[in-house]
Chains A and B, each alone.
Chain A
Amino acid sequence: MARSATALGRWPAGDTAVRSTRWRGLLRNWSVSVGGGLVVVLAVVGLLTPVLTVRSPTALHPGEELRPPTVDFPFGTDELGRDVASRVLNGARTSLFAAVSSVSLAAATGVPLGVAIGLAGGLVDLLAMRAFDILFAFPAILLAIAIVAALGPSLRNLVLTITLLTMPQFAVMARGVTLAARPMDYVQAAVALGASMRRIAFTHVLPNVVPPLIVTATLNLSIVILVEAGLSFLGLGTQPPAPTLGGMISRGRQYMTIAPWLVVFPGLAIMVAVLGFNLLGDGLREVLDPKLRQGGGR
Chain B
Amino acid sequence: MRAYVVKRLLLLVPTLLGISMVSFAIIHLIPGDLVTVLLGITASQNEQNREAIIQALHLDRPLAVQYLHWLGAVLRGNLGRSLVHGAPVAQEIARAYPVTVQLTVMSMVTATLLGIPLGVFSVTGRGRGLEAVIRVGSLLFISAPAFFLGTVLIVLGARYAPGITTLGYVSFFAAPWRSIGQMLPAALALGAAISAILLRYTRASMLEVLSADYVRTARAKGLAERRVALRHALANALIPVIAASGIQFVALIGGAVIVEEVFALPGIGRLVVNAIYQRDYTVIQGAILFLTANAVLINLVIDLLYRYVDPRISYG
Complex CA gap A146/B291 in Å reads 12
The digit string for B132-149, where 1 denotes a CB below 8 A from any CB of A, is 000100011011110110
Q: Is the CB of B145 within 8 A of A230?
A: yes
B276 neighbours in A (Cβ, 8 Å): 145, 149, 234, 236
B288 neighbours in A (Cβ, 8 Å): 138, 142-143, 146
The digit string for A278-298, where 1 denotes a CB below 8 A from any CB of B, is 110000000000000001111
Q: Which of B18-26, B53-61, B77-85, B177-185 is the interface stretch?
A: B18-26
Chain B proximity of A270: nearest CB distance (Å): 6
Chain B proximity of A75: nearest CB distance (Å): 16
Q: Is the CB of B18 within 8 A of A131?
A: yes
Within 8 A of B (CB), among A213-268: 222, 226, 229-230, 233-236, 246, 249-250, 253, 256-257, 260, 263-264, 267
A interface, over-half SS: helix
Q: Is the CB of A139 within 8 A of B143?
A: no
Chain A proximity of B201: nearest CB distance (Å): 10
Q: Is the CB of A229 within 8 A of B18?
A: no
Complex CA gap A150/B282 in Å reads 11
In the complex, residue of chain B having the shortest beta-carbon distance to the beta carbon of A260: B155
Complex CA gap A4/B18 in Å reads 23
Q: Does A18 sit within 8 A of B, measured CB to CB?
A: no
Cβ-defined partner of B29 (8 Å) among A147, A222, A233: A147
Q: Is the CB of B158 within 8 A of A257?
A: yes
The total of interchain contacts (Cβ-Cβ below 8 angstroms) comes to 151
Q: Is the CB of B254 within 8 A of A256?
A: no
Q: Does A192 sit within 8 A of B, measured CB to CB?
A: no
Q: Is the CB of A146 within 8 A of B14?
A: no
Q: Is the CB of B257 within 8 A of A142?
A: yes
B299 neighbours in A (Cβ, 8 Å): 137
- B interface residues (Cβ-Cβ under 8 A, vs A): 14-15, 18-19, 22-23, 26-27, 29-31, 135, 139-140, 142-145, 147-148, 151-152, 154-155, 158-159, 200, 203-204, 207-208, 247, 250-251, 253-255, 257-258, 261-262, 272-273, 276-277, 279, 281, 284-285, 288, 291-292, 295-296, 299
11 interchain pairs, CB-CB under 8 A: A133-B15, A137-B292, A139-B257, A140-B251, A146-B23, A230-B145, A234-B261, A271-B145, A275-B142, A278-B143, A296-B207
The 4 closest A-B CB pairs, nearest first, are A139-B254, A134-B18, A267-B148, A274-B143
- A interface residues (Cβ-Cβ under 8 A, vs B): 3, 130-131, 133-135, 137-143, 145-147, 149-152, 222, 226, 229-230, 233-236, 246, 249-250, 253, 256-257, 260, 263-264, 267, 270-272, 274-275, 278-279, 295-298
